[in-house]
Structure 1
Amino acid sequence: MKPNFLVIGAQRAGTTWLYECLREHPEIFLPETKELHYFDLNHEKGDEWYFQHFEGASEKAIGEITPNYYQYPGAIEKAHALLPEAKFIFILREPKARAISQFALFKEKWGLTSIEQALQEKPEFADLSLQGKHLQRISSIVPKENLLVLFYEDLASNPLSFLSSVYRFLGVREVGSPSFLNKRVNKVLMPKAQQTLRNIGLGKLLDALKESKLAEPIKRAIGKFDSPQKQQVNLPDSFLRDLEEDINRIEQSLNVDLKHWN
């Protein structure tokens, strides 16, 4: 069986939450592994390897979620060539907040100490935030009727309505609220402390804690006073100008007003 929809991004824009919610829908199939990375990192494994992840699926909507596809060179082109009838879902997030959230993840993973270091040492950091640039390219490849563009802020303010938009796009029926509806997933856990814990050899303990039942209460508690937006992370002026130009691209592509993003 072949997938008929892909969630392609953006990173740090609720794709893990969406994965958990969609998995509970009786008419939607998603693989056990959230991110297959076939069209970016694993393409050499071949189509047979990819399709094995969907064997036995008989649901109306069959898909996968890899939030790197929107940014990775050639990924959308490969996906559309293999799955020409597939639908694509792209969630956009206000770029400054998205970049700050990405930095918190990069800080955890790579031990980066500043936005400037991230911009210098990880070229993908800036490119991941240029969602408008990628949206324009994706829109030139995927037919308009097969591309759904959503906004992270709508997910945050009304998750049930956000999900309903996805259900309608995929052609599946409305269902009751999934158990993950009001849960926050993939928040960086203990962002100020975890690099120190890893440095002193407690990385495995930290990873185990993230997978335990204690992770969700800790995330909620931390979120009250230590969210990325409240850490007063300053973005360089040149990067801010790039983000502002990219917002203009989104406005032009979707014919929307995003002045509140600026």
Structure 2
Amino acid sequence: MLPDVIFVGPTKCGTTWIDAYLRTRPEVVLPEKTKETFFFDKVFSRGIEWYRAQFPDRDGIRVEVAPSLFHKPEARAALLQTAPKTKVVIMLRDPWDRAVSHYFHYRKAGEARLPLAEMAQRFPDVVEASLFHKHAQAWEEAFPGQVSYLSYAQLRTDPDGLCAALCEVMGLDYVAPPGSLSQRQVNAAAVPRNALAARMGRRSAEWLRRAGAHQVVNVLRQTRLKKLLFAGGQVEGERQAVRAQVSTLGMIAPDHAQMLDFLAARGEVRP
């Protein structure tokens, strides 16, 4: 079977938390060996039978939390071709804060400290995945009547309320998140002790995933290796400096204004 619901992101909007919550629900069937299969954006050539095999063979609501899909037209086209009846869920977040968090995603992966605009030039998804109106509109056009929205801000301030909204979107009975999830810090920034080792670790994990070795990556993530490669000092001072540069990301402001108008017209939750 194909997914009934897919959370398309974008990244840095609480999807890891959502995946962790859904894995506490026995009636939800998620990929067994990994959070994301990357099927629709990176390994679509493997075919639908490969994708089906990533899910355990049992009854339930089939779901994938796949935040890398949000800003990729080819992923949207692949999902539409394969599973046109799938319900799509988009997580909304302040787009500038999301871009700053994405900046630190690359810093944590071993990239050097750079001006925000330079990091965005090197990694275009820093800005592209914050263009909520542009991409949400494309999802709406591809999946009319099948797109829902949830708020990252609500996850930060009211995880129980976010869970209630999540369950309503999915047609699940409400079950509160475990205490361990309610207390989990969302998107804490850090930089690695060794940037070169972190870059090598990120590229190795990407290669293993593309080779279909998701389980190897998952096993390694449970060891001390992940902490040794990616853990490091907190960066609150750097975060403040980067946040002060968000005005250099000129494409975000007009898109954000359009998104607020769209949400107001729809009566949807604001980021």
* TM-score of the aligned structures, taking structure 1 as reference length: 0.81
Aligned mates of 1:24, 1:245 — CA distance in 2: 39
Task: Show the counterpart of 2:156.
Answer: 156
Q: Deviations over 1:112-155 (max 9, x none)?
A: 321132122222222122122111111111122x2111121011
Task: Show the counterpart of 1:108.
Answer: 108
- Residues 230 and 193 from structure 1, CA distance in 2 versus in 1: closer, same or farther, beyond 3 angstroms? farther
Task: Show the counterpart of 2:262.
Answer: 253
Task: Show the counterpart of 2:244.
Answer: 234
SS at match of 1:58: coil
- Residues 88 and 253 from structure 1, CA distance in 2 versus in 1: closer, same or farther, beyond 3 angstroms? same
Equivalences for 1:1-262 in 2 at 5 Å? 1-32=1-32, 33-59=34-60, 61-114=61-114, 115-144=116-145, 146-178=146-178, 179-184=180-185, 187-188=188-189, 190-191=190-191, 193-195=193-195, 208-209=223-224, 226=236, 229-235=239-245, 237-239=247-249, 241-255=250-264
Q: Which amino acid aligns with 1:99?
A: A
Percent identity over the alignment is 24
Q: Deviations over 1:76-127 (max 9, x none)?
A: 2221231122111110110111111110111222513211321222222221
- Residues 194 and 180 from structure 1, CA distance in 2 versus in 1: closer, same or farther, beyond 3 angstroms? farther
Shift of 1:160: 0.8
Aligned mates of 1:116, 1:232 — CA distance in 2: 10
SS at match of 1:64: strand
- Residues 156 and 175 from structure 1, CA distance in 2 versus in 1: closer, same or farther, beyond 3 angstroms? same
Q: Which amino acid aligns with 2:144?
A: P
- Residues 134 and 24 from structure 1, CA distance in 2 versus in 1: closer, same or farther, beyond 3 angstroms? same
SS at match of 1:180: helix
Confirm or deny: 8 A CA contact 1:164 1:174 kept in the other structure. yes
Shift of 1:17: 0.6
SS at match of 1:251: helix
- Residues 153 and 229 from structure 1, CA distance in 2 versus in 1: closer, same or farther, beyond 3 angstroms? farther
Aligned mates of 2:192, 2:186 — CA distance in 1: 18
- Residues 140 and 85 from structure 1, CA distance in 2 versus in 1: closer, same or farther, beyond 3 angstroms? same
Confirm or deny: 8 A CA contact 1:112 1:118 kept in the other structure. no
Q: Which amino acid aligns with 1:11?
A: T
Shift of 1:21: 0.6
* TM-score of the aligned structures, taking structure 2 as reference length: 0.79
Aligned mates of 1:226, 1:183 — CA distance in 2: 18
Matched residues, number? 248
Aligned mates of 2:143, 2:104 — CA distance in 1: 32
- Residues 185 and 31 from structure 1, CA distance in 2 versus in 1: closer, same or farther, beyond 3 angstroms? farther
Aligned mates of 1:13, 1:122 — CA distance in 2: 18
SS at match of 2:184: coil
Structure 2 unaligned residues grouped into runs of 5+? 205-220
Confirm or deny: 8 A CA contact 1:2 1:54 kept in the other structure. no
Shift of 1:176: 3.4
Q: Which amino acid aligns with 2:29?
A: F
Aligned mates of 1:36, 1:227 — CA distance in 2: 35
Aligned mates of 1:35, 1:137 — CA distance in 2: 22
Structure 1 unaligned residues grouped into runs of 5+? none
